[in-house]
Amino acid sequence: MQRRTLPPRPNWEARLQEVGMTWYAPTPEHPVPYWGEEGYYAFTPGEIEGLKRDAQDLTAMVLETTGAAIEGGRLGELGIPAFLHPAVRESWDRDDPTLYMRLDLSYDARGRARLLEVNAQTPTSLVEAAVCQWQWLEDRLERGELPAGTGQWNTVHEGLGEQWAYLVRERGVTQAHFSSAREVEDIATVTYLRDLAGAAGVSGSFLAADEVGTSPQEPFLLDTWTLPIRNLMWLWPFEYAWESRDGSFLATTQTRFLEPLWKAVTSSKGLLALLHERYPDSGLVLPASLTPGRLGRDVVRKPLYSREGQNVQLPGEAATAGAYGDLPLVEQAYVELPTFLAGDGPRYPVLGVWVAGDEVCGMGIREGRGRVTDNRATFAPHVVVPG
C-alpha cells in the first residue's frame, strides 16, 4: 500500500455535487476537508485479493459470533438493556434480513489486516465509497493521469443493488420508509439507499428520525400521516432509540428494521472481546477483553457504543473528548496504524471494507490526522495498479 498524490481535478467540487456529495468542505464540526481530492492509496492486485479473503473470513466470524452471543445470553455484557433482550433474540430467530455493514481494518506494511471495529447498523461514508471515488477514478483515467488498466476494488453499488433485489425476491420487501437524522450526510446516505431500493422494486418515502411516531393503540411505528411503517430503513442508532422517551417501542413494535434489531449485538464494541474468545488464534482478530486490566497496559479503551472516535483512550494518553464517557469499556490490544506524510502533517489510514448481505464488495479509506479516527478524518480514494 502506497500513498500517492495528484493535482486536484479542475472542477472537482462540481463533480462531487453531481453525484450527491455536498459535505466535502471543512465545517466547524468537521474542521478539515471531508473529501481528499489529491491524496489516494495504491494497492497491488495481490494485496487486494488478500484483503478480500481476510475481510470475507472476518464477515463470517462476526456473524457467527453475533449468533453465539444471542444464543448464549450475553446481551447484557454488550450493553444492551434487559427489556430489549427478547426482541433481539426474536429478530435473530426470525432471520430478519440485513442490507450492509462496514468492517474497519488496520493494514500494515507486511499486508496484515486486523479488525479494529464493526460498523454494523449505521455505517456512513457510503456515498463516497460507492460513487464518489469511482467517479474520481473514471475522471483520472479519462484525463490520462493514471495508467490504463488501473482499477478499484469497488462493487459496492452493484452489491447493494443485488441485496435489495434479494430482499424483494426472497424476503417480500416491496415497501419501506427511509429515515435518518436531519444531517446532510445522513439524508444523502438514505436517499442513495432509497434510489437503489427503488431500482429493485421497493417503493418508499423519507421521514426524519424525529418524525417516526408511536401510539399505544398501534402495533407498528407510524409515519407523518399516522400510517403504519412496516419496514424501516433507519439510519439512527439503536442506542439512541432505547434511551429515548419512547424507547420501549423497540421491544414491542411489529415494524421490521433495516438494519435488523439483532444488529444491536454486532454494533456493540463489546463484540470485539467475544470475537477474541471465539477465535483466539486468528491473526485477523486483535486480543480484546471486557475485563479491565486483563490484557495489560498496551491497550485501547473504547466505550461499548461510541462514534467519531469519542471517549477513546490510547496507551499512555488521555481519552478523547465525547459524550460516551459514562459507558462500560472494552479493552483491545493496541496496533500501530501505518503513517504517511502529507504536506500538512501525518496521515493514519483505516480501511473500511463494505459488506452487502454477507459478501464483501469494496473498500473506502479514511485518513485520520491522529491515531484515533475522529472528525478530523478525510476520505481518500484508492486504486488497484495494473498487475
Q: Tell me the percentage of the chain whose pLDDT exceeds 90.
A: 95
285 Cβ partners below 8 Å, 6+ apart? 58, 61, 114, 115, 272, 275, 276, 279
For 343-373, write each residue's pLDDT tens digit. 889 999 999 999 999 999 999 999 999 999 9
- pLDDT at residue 242 greater than cutoff 90: yes
Phi/psi zone of residue 208: left (φ > 0), alpha (ψ -120 to 50 degrees), beta? beta
Least confidently predicted of 3-7, 288-292, 373-377:
373-377
pLDDT category, 250, cuts 50, 70, 90?
Answer: very high
- DSSP 8-class letter at 176: E
Query: What's the pLDDT at 375?
Result: 80
3-state secondary structure of 183: coil
End-to-end CA distance of the chain: 14
Mean model confidence pLDDT for the chain: 96
For 156-213, write each residue's pLDDT tens digit. 999 999 999 999 999 999 999 999 999 999 999 999 999 999 999 999 999 999 999 9
pTM for the whole structure? 0.97
DSSP 118-172: EE-SS---HHIIIIIHHHHHHHHHHTT-S-TT-B--B-HHHHHHHHHHHHHHHH-
Phi/psi zone of residue 146: left (φ > 0), alpha (ψ -120 to 50 degrees), beta? beta
Say which residue the cell 478524518 belongs to: 377
Assigned C-alpha cell, 330: 472494552
- Cα gap 70→93, rounded to integer Å: 10
Burial class (CB in 10 A: 0-12, 13-18, 19+), 7: exposed
Identify residue 65 by its one-letter amino acid code: T
For 329-345, write each residue's pLDDT tens digit. 999 999 999 999 998 89
